Structure 1
């Protein structure tokens, strides 16, 4: 029994094609949670694919209906070796976005894993079937290497509605806190910083959606007769937005920004380079908050973006002054901001700048909160050391993901320290046609997670005491 043996078993599982075959069976399930008619398929994924696999590893499993009627189910699996041992909670989601089969490259299908060089194509390969299957497979190899033991207890939560906004997840976890109680949360989603660099992130930025509306009159009026006499709502709204965020993307409302960038976050981001991978767009270095590095802008600060803007009839414009204008915006925010104050801050700012005709309203009440485990947590140093030991690389540490995940459910409702180890990469076409995993990243990730789970069996008890 040794750590090296567990990693060798994980490598062999990749090399002999067993993991690819497992992923192929998973991807064959069209688990599109945004399509109501696919609800039976969401259950089928858990019942006929995941449950037999986990039970063969000694897990007890239960499938639960979603507390939100008509939405995807949840599975709780547990493998308890000894109540006195540390307990790991892991997570994944078996649902995917729509397949969009007609948009995939010729020869590819969303519901079949097609290997083309180092790329494994298929819907869910990167998000999130491939990622949670890597973790389950690594657990399996550690059990094998330790002669049937892990050295810790394991709980797994799989949801089938993440791509539909995780409806019911918070309510479900609150109702099942005892069943999900653990000492550490380790899961995988999202991309690495770069394909070749193992990555840890400790939470995510939150996302707050709001709309701006200018509704001045009913209908449109001929611009030849009324131009220069009637206020144009499109122009009013454009100027209102420009008062919130300037032409270089700098947020102009103090209440929408963190007061400062914490020193420990700045220190963690010193060696983080953003936008250096193949296929990445060229960064506009003058865009965003001045005085911050590219990584600090994405992982340590707030941004305000316009997602959609409409006035008049864009599909068939006419020479008329429209009666209304509308824009959908959102704010990506860190734990250093309170999203509950955003609407009041925007309203106060608009009124102070003479935009009293611009209405502002929050558009989604189920805000994904910002979360961040303290980079000084003993769990963080331990995980970084484990990754470096396995790969002989310097892993990237992101205080939080630039995007959003339902991590607040685990960090706030369940009260767990959260460590995420992603197994995809930025150009994986997640959510788009031609989604794929990179084979070298899959192999390395299997090794990484075998190392992590071996080390948790060796050091988990010590870490629980240190963290508490």
Structure 2
């Protein structure tokens, strides 16, 4: 009689024999930069030449779906239906990657060539997200090889436009709602809180990017001849920004201050680690007063000025610039009305004398905030399975601090959503030198094999 332990051992052997590294190297070699128009053909090639053969080898029937939004790339849908009476899991991943930034990688590394060094696997997409969905699919393979079947139904959706905001994903899921029907989404993206401890999260903060612009006149004018006579756009913009957050970064726009940090959410966040060796030291006096670091990053909203310019900072001259611009971002949690974020800012600025500050939404759409109750039955089930394999309790987050398209699965498809990330916060996922920790990948293969095994046992029991 085959056992859960045998399936996990098979997954371990897959990693230890070097097969995971080999397969990941092949995926990384596809230059799937969705932000680079010249690489658009590579998006479809990844699905046709890498993802589809892998899924069909596991007994999935597959289709490539055109994206209803011309800005987005194609999507691959695969399904393995073993018994209509079984529970169905939808899993998700994305094969597109952020810009390569090739000339910024350190010597010896290249974004589209996998390199192993000091227990790390370097390459664009290793963490975000090729390595993560490869782990989940190979864990399915380990269960199939031992049990001969999964014991549950699986649907897979791989998109190629996540790094550009998943254009078309929500529309496609609305039109394909019946094909994508499932009992739960179990997927992997984002980081663990610590590389050696499993993490679960059930949603994500949303994000809104926008420019604040002050345009007073065309061109710049000599500061000696005109200083004291011409309004300085940079000074006006600085004061407008200071009305949005105070000197320690606490939010001053009333509608941006959520009421969703309940006692239950505080309890779920209690004692969760946010400090990471080798990462930047956090500033204890930054952000909303009275909140713990975990509450500030997972339970509250944060405002940031991502870029700011007036004049020519690298070559300043004695002239008053005619314009100033700041590119800003609000990361927000459930409990913030996404449709009122920018209108609320408009009201706030107008009431403080900054009617001349333009608010210009960013072209790229961001994902909306989502959160599932940490006490949901599917969360308890996944956490229990992960704990059984790991021998310790996972960190359980109500939502990730970053953003991903969970709103499509939670709101459009109406699914409970549980994410089991396989990376860590120091992975440089949107920067040069992106990598995963090899030991974390091996551990993740074990956890996901155990989880898929347990889903099959659960589903068979429920169907009997």
User: TM-score range with shorter-chain normalisation?
Assistant: over 0.9
Please give the per-residue CA displacement for 1:108-131, whole angstroms capped at 9, x wherever unaligned: 222221111311111111111110
Q: Is the 8 A contact 1:208 1:364 kept in 2?
A: no
Q: Is residue 97 from structure 1 mapped to residue 102 from structure 2 by the alignment?
A: no
Please list, as runs of the form range in 1=range in 2, the aligned pairs for 1:73-112 lying within 5 A after superposition: 73-112=74-113
| Residue number in structure 1 paired with 2:411 | 412
Q: Distance in 2 between matches of 1:459 and 1:271?
A: 31
CA 1:113/1:234 → structure 2, altered by over 3 Å: closer, same or farther? same
Question: Which runs of 5 or more structure 1 residues have no equivalent in the other structure?
Answer: none
Please list, as runs of the form range in 1=range in 2, the aligned pairs for 1:370-389 lying within 5 A after superposition: 370-389=369-388
| Residue number in structure 2 paired with 1:402 | 401
Q: Distance in 1 between matches of 2:204 and 2:135?
A: 22
Please give the per-residue CA displacement for 1:355-375, whole angstroms capped at 9, x wherever unaligned: 222222332473410001111
| Residue number in structure 1 paired with 2:329 | 330
Shift of 1:329: 0.9
What SS does the corresponding residue of 1:178 show, helix, strand or coil? coil
Q: Is the 8 A contact 1:205 1:404 kept in 2?
A: yes
Shift of 1:47: 0.9
Q: Is the 8 A contact 2:86 2:462 kept in 1?
A: no
Q: Is the 8 A contact 2:105 2:111 kept in 1?
A: yes
| Residue number in structure 2 paired with 1:11 | 12
Greater Cα shift, 99-108 or 10-19: 99-108
Shift of 1:260: 4.5
CA 1:461/1:408 → structure 2, altered by over 3 Å: closer, same or farther? farther
Please list, as runs of the form range in 1=range in 2, the aligned pairs for 1:414-453 lying within 5 A after superposition: 414-453=413-452
| Residue number in structure 2 paired with 1:57 | 58
Shift of 1:85: 0.6
Q: What TM-score, normalized to structure 1?
A: 0.95
Q: Distance in 2 between matches of 1:138 and 1:23?
A: 14
Please give the per-residue CA displacement for 1:335-386, whole angstroms capped at 9, x wherever unaligned: 1110211222212222222222222233247341000111120111111111
Shift of 1:102: 2.7
Q: Distance in 2 between matches of 1:101 and 1:56?
A: 33
CA 1:219/1:177 → structure 2, altered by over 3 Å: closer, same or farther? same
What SS does the corresponding residue of 1:180 show, helix, strand or coil? coil
What SS does the corresponding residue of 2:23 show, helix, strand or coil? helix
Q: Distance in 2 between matches of 1:336 and 1:248?
A: 23
Q: Is residue 255 from structure 1 mapped to residue 249 from structure 2 by the alignment?
A: no
Q: Is residue 218 from structure 1 mapped to residue 235 from structure 2 by the alignment?
A: no
Moved segments of 4+, more than 3 Å: 460-464
Q: Is residue 302 from structure 1 mapped to residue 289 from structure 2 by the alignment?
A: no
What SS does the corresponding residue of 2:40 show, helix, strand or coil? helix
Q: Is the 8 A contact 1:264 1:375 kept in 2?
A: no
| Residue number in structure 2 paired with 1:190 | 190
Measured on the aligned residues, the alpha-carbon RMSD in Å equals 1.6
Q: Distance in 2 between matches of 1:281 and 1:269?
A: 21
Q: Distance in 2 between matches of 1:446 and 1:360?
A: 46
Please give the per-residue CA displacement for 1:131-174, whole angstroms capped at 9, x wherever unaligned: 0000000001111221x211110000001111222121111111
Q: Distance in 1 between matches of 2:357 and 2:387?
A: 52
What SS does the corresponding residue of 2:77 show, helix, strand or coil? strand
Please list, as runs of the form range in 1=range in 2, the aligned pairs for 1:338-353 lying within 5 A after superposition: 338-353=337-352
CA 1:110/1:291 → structure 2, altered by over 3 Å: closer, same or farther? same
Greater Cα shift, 335-344 or 413-422: 335-344
| Residue number in structure 1 paired with 2:167 | 167
What SS does the corresponding residue of 2:178 show, helix, strand or coil? helix
Q: Is the 8 A contact 2:92 2:158 kept in 1?
A: yes
Q: What TM-score, normalized to structure 2?
A: 0.96
| Residue number in structure 2 paired with 1:118 | 119
Q: Is the 8 A contact 2:199 2:420 kept in 1?
A: yes
Q: Is the 8 A contact 1:214 1:324 kept in 2?
A: yes
What SS does the corresponding residue of 1:243 show, helix, strand or coil? helix
Shift of 1:462: 7.3
Q: Is the 8 A contact 1:301 1:333 kept in 2?
A: yes
| Residue number in structure 1 paired with 2:236 | 236
